[in-house]
C-alpha cells in the first residue's frame, strides 16, 4: 500500500512538474560565425567542446534556443542572419532536441527601441501593401522553416517593439509610436495582426510573443499592452538588463503588475545578460555593489534572477542573450560586448552558464510542490490511489491530491 501511495503521489507530481517546465536557454545567433572562424570553446577543465549546441543542451540545461532573422542583413556587427543562415542553424537546434524561438526583426539591421527601420526593399510600399508584405514574408519564412524540419515553437513578431516598428527608411521615425499619442498605433497594430495571422496559419502550435523592453517603466509597459489588446498573441516578452532596467525589486514589481492586469498572458524574459569584465560608463543604473562586473558577479546576477522568478507560475522562463560570445584569440565580434559566458582570457566556460538550469531543478520543484497545501479549490480531488471523489468540503479526514498537490483534511 505504501508503494502504491507513493507512486500515485509521484504521478501527480510528475504531471504538475511537466506543466511547470520553464524555458531555459539563450540567443545563439552568432554561433555559426564563431564556428566558421574555428574559435575554440573549452569546458571548465580546458577540454575543447566539439559541439556547443549539444553542450548547452546537455550540460547547461538549455531546452530552447533563440535565433534572430533580418530581411536583408546589412553585415553590420552581428547582423548576418539571413533566411539561409537561420534555416541551417535552426535545423541543428531542433535536431539537438531543443525548442526554437524565431525572432523576426522586420528590418535589415538591428531593431530595438532606437532603431526600427523599414527594410529597404519595402520602403516604397503603401500602408496596405506593407501589411500584405509583412503577411507574405512571415508566411514564406515559416513555410520554408516547416519544410526544413525547423519549425519554431515560439515566434517573436518584432524585436523590442516598445515604440512600434517599420518606422520608415533608415534614420527616419515617421511612424514612431508614443505611449500617450494615438498617431501610428493603428498602422502598427495592423502590421502585428498580419504577422500573427501568418504565424497561426503556418505554425498553429507555436506561441506568439510580443517583445518590449520598458522593463523599468510600468506606466509605459501597461499602456503598450493595453493598446495591443486586439492583437493575437500568447506571451509578453521582456528584455531585462539591470544596467538599463534597475534592480530585481523593480523587475518583480513589473512582473506582478503584468500578471495582475494581463492575467490571460504568460510572461517570459527573452533577453537578459550581465557583464563579466567592465561596466558601461553610460549605464542608467550602477549595480556593481550588488553584482560586480566580473565572472563571479555575472553568476551572482543569474543566481539571484533565477531565485526571484522561479516560483512565479506565470513566468515562462529566461533566455540569455549572446552566451556564445567568446573573444578568446579571435575578433569575430567587435566591439567585445562583454556579456558572454566564456572566459575571454582562456576560452573556458564560466560558472554562470549553469545558473539558469536551476529554473528546472527537479528536486527543488518536487519539494516545493509537496509543501504546498492550498491547491486550486475548484480543481477535482482524488484519493491517493487515484479515485475521483466528491465535494472537498465534505471529505473525511485524510490525505488527498488536488491540483497536483497534497491536500490534507483534518
**Residues 280/284/285/291 CA torsion (nearest 10 deg):** -30
Q: Residue 110: helix, strand or coil by DSSP?
A: coil
Give the integer Cα–Cα distance in Å for 405 and 381: 10
Give the integer Cα–Cα distance in Å for 44 and 60: 12
Per-residue pLDDT of the chain (410 residues; tens, 9 = 90+): 445 545 544 454 444 444 568 999 999 999 999 999 999 999 999 999 999 999 999 999 999 999 999 999 999 999 999 999 999 999 999 999 999 999 999 999 999 999 999 999 999 999 999 999 999 999 999 999 999 999 999 999 999 999 999 999 999 999 999 999 999 999 999 999 999 999 999 999 999 999 999 999 999 999 999 999 999 999 999 999 999 999 999 999 999 999 999 999 999 999 999 999 999 999 999 999 999 999 999 999 999 999 999 999 999 999 999 999 999 999 999 999 999 999 999 999 999 999 999 999 864 444 444 444 455 676 777 665 455 666 666 777 676 666 555 566 65
Determine if the peptide bond prior to 315 is cis (ω within 30°).
no
- Angle between helix axes 2-20 and 362-371 (nearest 10 degrees) is 110
Q: Cell 553585415 appears where? A: 75
334 is catalytic: no
Q: Residue 52: helix, strand or coil by DSSP?
A: helix
Give the integer Cα–Cα distance in Å for 213 and 241: 9
Catalytic residue among 243, 271, 324, 325: 271
- Angle between helix axes 295-309 and 248-261 (nearest 10 degrees) is 30
H or E stretch at 165: none
Q: What single-letter DSSP state applies at residue 174?
A: T
Give the integer Cα–Cα distance in Å for 384 and 9: 7
147 is catalytic: no
Catalytic residue among 160, 213, 243, 324: 160
Give the list of residues 6+ apart from residue 64 with CB closer than 8 angstroms, or none: 23, 24, 25, 98, 99, 100, 101, 153, 154, 317, 319
Give the integer Cα–Cα distance in Å for 338 and 283: 14
Amino acid at each position: 500500500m505504501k508503494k502504491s501511495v507513493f507512486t500515485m503521489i509521484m504521478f501527480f507530481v510528475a504531471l504538475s512538474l511537466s506543466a511547470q517546465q520553464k524555458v531555459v536557454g539563450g540567443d545563439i545567433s552568432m554561433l555559426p560565425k564563431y564556428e566558421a572562424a574555428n574559435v575554440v570553446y573549452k569546458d571548465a577543465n580546458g577540454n575543447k567542446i566539439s559541439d556547443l549546441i549539444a553542450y548547452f543542451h546537455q550540460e547547461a540545461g538549455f531546452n530552447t534556443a533563440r535565433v534572430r532573422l533580418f530581411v536583408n542583413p546589412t553585415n553590420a556587427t552581428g547582423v548576418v542572419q539571413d533566411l539561409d543562415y537561420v534555416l541551417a542553424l535552426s535545423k541543428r537546434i531542433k535536431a539537438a532536441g531543443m525548442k526554437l524561438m524565431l525572432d523576426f526583426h522586420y528590418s535589415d539591421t538591428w531593431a530595438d527601441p532606437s532603431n526600427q527601420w523599414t527594410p529597404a526593399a519595402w520602403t516604397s510600399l503603401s500602408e496596405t501593401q506593407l501589411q500584405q508584405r509583412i503577411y507574405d514574408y512571415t508566411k514564406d519564412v515559416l513555410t520554408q522553416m516547416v519544410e526544413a524540419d525547423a519549425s519554431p515553437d515560439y515566434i517573436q513578431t518584432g524585436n523590442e517593439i516598445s515604440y512600434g516598428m517599420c518606422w520608415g527608411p533608415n534614420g527616419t521615425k515617421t511612424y514612431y509610436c508614443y505611449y500617450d499619442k494615438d498617431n501610428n498605433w493603428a498602422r502598427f497594430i495592423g502590421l502585428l495582426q498580419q504577422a500573427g495571422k501568418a504565424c497561426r496559419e503556418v505554425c498553429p502550435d507555436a506561441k506568439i510573443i510580443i517583445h518590449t523592453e520598458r522593463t523599468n517603466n510600468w506606466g509605459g509597459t501597461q499602456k503598450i499592452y493595453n493598446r495591443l489588446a486586439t492583437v493575437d498573441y500568447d506571451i509578453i516578452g521582456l528584455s531585462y538588463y539591470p544596467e538599463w532596467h534597475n534592480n530585481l525589486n523593480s523587475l518583480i514589481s513589473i512582473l506582478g503588475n503584468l500578471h495582475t492586469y494581463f492575467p490571460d498572458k504568460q510572461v517570459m524574459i527573452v533577453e537578459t545578460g550581465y557583464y563579466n569584465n567592465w561596466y558601461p560608463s553610460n549605464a542608467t543604473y550602477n549595480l556593481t555593489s550588488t553584482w560586480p562586473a566580473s565572472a563571479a558577479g555575472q553568476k551572482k546576477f543569474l543566481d539571484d534572477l533565477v531565485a526571484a522568478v522561479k516560483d512565479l507560475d506565470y513566468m515562462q522562463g529566461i533566455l540569455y542573450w549572446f552566451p556564445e560570445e567568446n573573444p578568446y584569440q579571435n575578433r569575430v565580434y567587435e566591439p567585445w560586448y562583454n556579456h558572454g559566458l566564456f572566459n575571454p582570457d582562456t576560452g573556458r566556460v564560466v560558472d554562470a552558464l549553469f545558473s539558469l538550469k536551476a529554473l528546472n531543478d527537479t528536486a527543488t520543484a518536487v519539494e516545493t510542490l509537496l509543501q504546498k497545501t492550498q491547491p486550486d479549490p475548484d480543481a477535482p480531488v482524488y484519493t491517493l490511489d487515484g479515485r475521483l471523489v466528491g465535494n472537498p468540503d465534505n471529505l473525511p479526514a485524510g490525505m488527498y491530491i488536488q491540483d497536483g498537490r497534497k491536500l490534507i483534511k483534518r
